[in-house]
Amino acid sequence: MLKVGYIGLGLMGKPMARNILKAGFPLVVHNRSRAAVDELVVEGAVAASTPAEVAEQVDVVIVNLPDSPDVEQVALGAEGILEGAHEGLIFIDNSTIKPATARKIAAKLAEKGVSSLDAPVSGGDIGAINGTLTIMVGGDGAALEKAMPILEAMGKSITLVGDAGAGQIAKACNQIMVAAQMVAMGELLILSKKAGADPQKVVSAIKGGAAQCWALDVKPPRLFAGNRQPGFKAYMQAKDLNIVLDTAREYGVPLPGTAENAQLFNAMLQMGMGDLDNSAVVGVIEALAGEELG
């Protein structure tokens, strides 16, 4: 059985690593803060002190980190994966980063015989906990075939999109749609409330028709209960939208709707709501409309 390393045990990474452990794979873990490491060690994982130490011990090393510079540092920097890399190692990145960075890392690791898969995920903390994530993959098909049992421990939909960077392009496209859904949901909730209709009944009325989407299926019950905790943090949604817009500029693609949505999520950060769920963008609409959802 393949031995797996997991680096980055945050809101998403820890339950994903736990599902790998539950599936029976020997697991080596590393994280900047120790508490999550200790938690998984109690459950059967082995701790490592550096990313290089993880890479030395495993067949497949996975990272799940906040942004492009973080992944590049852990993969290529001092005491990073490259220093511990060996021929035949498979590197998988569950983070959401720039496609150009994914391609750079893949090229550098390939020089030491390492295959790379950029494999960002969608489905939030619920999907991470339940092992039902959607995973979009860029990279070598043979490496994906070898690593597939590991990915199947974390997700239910795994798609090879193309070569290195293609998984991150798919995730950028995913985040265009996610942001649009969250903003549209916030707008319809506040419009219905201020115009005198019960937002809960409005959602019940429309979610079975053409407006049906994941956001309307999952998020309203939490919002109606006053729960705006993540989920998927708003500051990460804002970061992802900046990746989308940077990539769009690189290829000369106008994204006017996404640019406007990015401004709303950046406003959340300025309003001190960056650690709330991305659905809490409704708070920006509340402030602009002078109406609270309740």
Catalytic residue annotation: 171
Q: Distance (Å, rounded) from C-alpha 256 to C-alpha 87?
A: 45
CA–CA gap between residue 185 and residue 220 (Å, rounded): 9
Per DSSP, 147 falls in state H
DSSP-derived secondary structure letter, 157: E
Task: State the pairing for strand pair 60-63/4-7.
Answer: parallel
Q: What are phi and psi of 53, to 5 degrees?
A: -65, -35
Q: How far is CA 72 from CA 54, 93, 97, 164, 258, in A?
A: 16, 11, 10, 15, 26
**Tokens read off for 23:** 């599936």
Rounded CA gap, 274 and 162, in Å? 33
Q: Which DSSP category does 227 fall into?
A: -
